[in-house]
Amino acid sequence: MRTDRLRELEEYMQQKRSATIPELCDHFNVSLNTIRRDIKELVKSGTVSKVYGGILWNQEDNIVPFTARSTVAIDEKRHIGSLAASLVEDGETIYIDSGTTAVHLLPYIAQRRNVTVVSNSLIVFNEIQKYPELNLLTAGGIFNQKTKSFVGLSAVTGLNDIRIRKAFMSSTGVSIEAGATNNSLHEAEVKRAVISRAQKVILMVDHTKFDRSAAICFCGLEQLACFITDKKPPEKYLRFFEQNHIMVKY
C-alpha cells in the first residue's frame, strides 16, 4: 500500500539522510513517476527537501533537546499545568503535545473519570503510567530523539479518525504577528493536524516565550480558545485576546 511505502521511505531517509532518485526507485522497486509522487507528499509534509537529482532529510540541528528544555522553569510549568487542568472535564478526549510544558497537565487531571489522552510524546507515554485512571491513545510515527516524540506522515494520518475535544499545546515562541512557533518541521506538521481535528485549542507557555519567534508557525493566536501562562501577559496581548474573545489564565 502507498501509505506503507511512504512510511518506509521516511524511515529510509531518516537513516540515510540523502538519496538519489534512481536509488529510491531501485530500493523500493517502483517507477520514476511513482517515486516522484511519493517525494511530493514528503516534501509537502516537511519531511524532506528536493535537491538536484534527489532528496535530503530535513535535519533539525537548531532544536534544543527535550532533556535540556525540561529542566527550565519547572515551577512555572507546574503552575500552568494546574491552571490548564481546570479546563478538562470527565469523559473528554484531549491531546497533550510533546512540549515540556503541556506534560505538566497530567498529575492535575489524574482523578478525572474516563479521560482519554492522545499524544505523540514519549514522555507523556511514560508519565501516564503513574495515573491508571487515564486512558492513552497513540497515533504512531517515527521517533525523534531530540524532541522525544513521534512524527512523520504516519503520525499525521493516524490522527484522521480521532475526535479531539481540547488540544493542549506548547510552543518555543509566541507573538501576535508570528503566532505560536517552534523549530521542528516535523512537530509543526503534527501540531497542525491536531489543531485541524480539535474543537478547542489551548496554548500553554511560560512568560519567557512572549515576543519570541521560532522558525515555523503552527498556529495563529486567533485560533486559540484559551491562552495559559504563569504571569500577567503584556497589555498588547491582553487587548488582542479580548478582541478575539480568547480566554486568558495566569
What would the pLDDT profile of 138-159 be if each residue is shown by its tens digit?
988 989 888 889 998 889 999 9
2-57: CATH topology is Arc Repressor Mutant, subunit A (1.10.10)
Max Cα–Cα distance, the chain, nearest Å: 59
Q: Range with the lowest mean pLDDT among 5-19, 98-112, 193-207, 234-248?
A: 5-19
For range 163-181, the mean pLDDT? 95
Helix-, strand-, coil-residue percentages of the chain, each rounded to 5: 40, 25, 35
Q: How far is CA 222 from CA 9, 62, 199, in A?
A: 36, 27, 14
Q: How far apart are CA 141 and CA 187, in angstroms?
A: 11
Pick the CATH number of 66-249 from 3.40.50.300, 3.30.465.10, 2.30.30.90, 3.40.50.1360: 3.40.50.1360
The neighbouring-strand residues paired with 143 are: 150
Mean pLDDT estimate for the chain: 89
Cβ neighbours of residue 225 closer than 8 Å, sequence gap 6 or more: 166, 200, 201, 202, 246, 247
Q: What is the pLDDT of residue 60?
A: 56
Selection from 43-47, 99-103, 143-147, 192-196 with the highest mean pLDDT:
192-196
- Identify the pLDDT of residue 14: 77
Residue in the block written with cell 513521534: 150
Q: Within the chain, which residue ranges are assigned CATH 1.10.10?
A: 2-57
Q: CA separation (Å) from 8 to 3, 75, 219?
A: 9, 41, 29
Specify the pTM.
Answer: 0.75
Mean pLDDT over 210-232 rounds to: 94
Interior/surface letters 199-218, b for 16+ CB within 10 angstroms, e for the rest: ebbbbbbbeebbeebbbbbb
H helix intervals, 90-132? 122-127
Distance, CA of 26 to CA of 30 (rounded, Å): 7
Could you tell me the end-to-end alpha-carbon distance of the chain, in angstroms, rounded to an integer?
Answer: 48
Q: What does DSSP say about strands 149-151 and 173-175: parallel, antiparallel, or unpaired?
A: unpaired
- Residue 12 pLDDT: 87
> Does the pLDDT of residue 113 top 90, yes or no?
yes
Maximum mean pLDDT: which of 39-48, 58-67, 165-174, 175-184: 165-174
Q: Under a CB-based contact definition with an 8 Å cutoff, are residues 13 and 57 in contact?
A: yes
Q: Which residues belong to CATH 3.40.50.1360 in the chain?
A: 66-249
